[in-house]
Amino acid sequence: MQSYKNNHVCDITGATMRAVDYTKHAKAGPLQALAFRSAACYEPALEGLVRAFVSKGFIDEREKAGQGIGALVRSAIARLDIEEASKRKWSYTKAHSIEVARFGYTMAVEAASEGMTDAICNDPKLAFAGGLIHDVGKTFIPTAILVKELGVDFGWFTAFRDAPLTSAERRIMREEHVAIGTKYVRLFGGGPHIRTMLDMVGLHHVMFNGENSGVPSYPSLIRGMDLPLHARIAKVADFVSAVMPRHYRTNGYISSQDSALAYAIVAAGTELDPVSVRCFITGHYEASPKQAAAIIERLAHPRGQEGVSDIHGARVYAKDVVRTDPEFLGIIQRQDLDKARQRDNEMDGFARDFGLPPGAVRSN
């Protein structure tokens, strides 16, 4: 499904996505790196510097913004396609967003087939659009924060290459990309489905059980089934994509889509909505909703939030318990290829509408 070698992730969705070279992804220049390393020692200064960068970006963007979801998604894709020094600045973020769009669309179609009611059940294309734009706020965050692990190639600045984010940087990264994303969506007007886009951008990091889920602009206590289905689906799609190996996540517990699904099952009912995880299973494998629900209930972490919060232990549980479960193994060996081809054809049409090249979202 996926290979990892020399800072490359190949074939993210199992098919045509090109290799992403993380050593060339959104590198900060040396002056920006120095400014942010200095400001990181004093949180108010760091916040002020970030907001100055963001404000400039919004001033430039406001003049170009159109109206409606089509304009919103095309503009977001254009931001993800920014070239800098002869490279795609946001190559990984774009690949991740396309993957989230694919997963979200598949789950929305499954939810609709089960008779669920939500905007994305009536029009699954909205789930695809929401996935494409869910991380657009990151494109306004200064690259010195966003990819600190990659550092810069300039003399002694390479010392910052593997430096971890400070607690202030992590908080700003986590909260600001969501808040900026919702502000960006609002630039494109108040059409009938803009609220759905706002939810998918603004709530895609909210935990199902409400633990550690406060995000700007939205009620911090919203949780469980009070979360709209489209937001719960966006969270699962983002989770499954994000836990697969990247330049900063090379452990052997999560090495493929199947292993990522195992980890999602571990977190079902705590961080993730079990219904959305069930739709992921039935959307990708030959399993009935009843069978998928039973697997999730039986294999979710027995210690609940305490077990999931122990990240190392949760990954071991996903590998040693879920990935070796005979029923789980039986399901992941039966991918529904006919269903995948049908949905690929449908998403190809959406991709053209949003300015993506043919085949950009195909799984095979």
Dump pLDDT digits (tens) for 134-189. Answer: 999 988 887 777 665 444 454 555 555 556 677 777 777 788 888 889 989 988 88
Residue 219 has a pLDDT of: 60
Q: What is the mean pLDDT of the chain?
A: 80
Residue 12 has a pLDDT of: 35
User: What average pLDDT does the segment 329-344 reach?
Assistant: 87
Predicted confidence (pLDDT) per residue in 287-326, tens digit: 999 999 999 999 999 999 999 989 889 999 999 999 999 9
Residue 160 has a pLDDT of: 54
Structure tokens at 217: 């602009």
Q: Tell which wins on pLDDT, 261 or 10.
A: 261
Residue 68 has a pLDDT of: 85
Contacts of 80 (CB under 8 A, 6+ apart): 90, 93, 94, 97, 136, 139
pLDDT over threshold 70, residue 20: no
Please answer whether residues 16 and 139 qualify as being in contact, where contact means their C-beta atoms are separated by less than 8 angstroms: no
User: At which residue do the structure tokens 């979710």 appear?
Assistant: 300
Percent of the chain with pLDDT strictly greater than 90:
37
User: What average pLDDT does the segment 74-80 reach?
Assistant: 90
User: What average pLDDT does the segment 73-91 reach?
Assistant: 80
pLDDT over threshold 80, residue 22: no
Predicted confidence (pLDDT) per residue in 198-230, tens digit: 999 999 988 898 876 655 555 667 778 888 999
Residue 14 has a pLDDT of: 37
Per-residue pLDDT band at 354 (split at 50, 70, 90):
confident
User: How many residues can be counted in the chain?
Assistant: 364
Residue 357 has a pLDDT of: 77
Gap between the Cα atoms of 178 and 137, Å rounded: 6
Please answer whether residues 37 and 162 qualify as being in contact, where contact means their C-beta atoms are separated by less than 8 angstroms: no
Topology annotation, domain 3-353 = Hypothetical protein af1432 (1.10.3210)
pLDDT over threshold 70, residue 237: yes
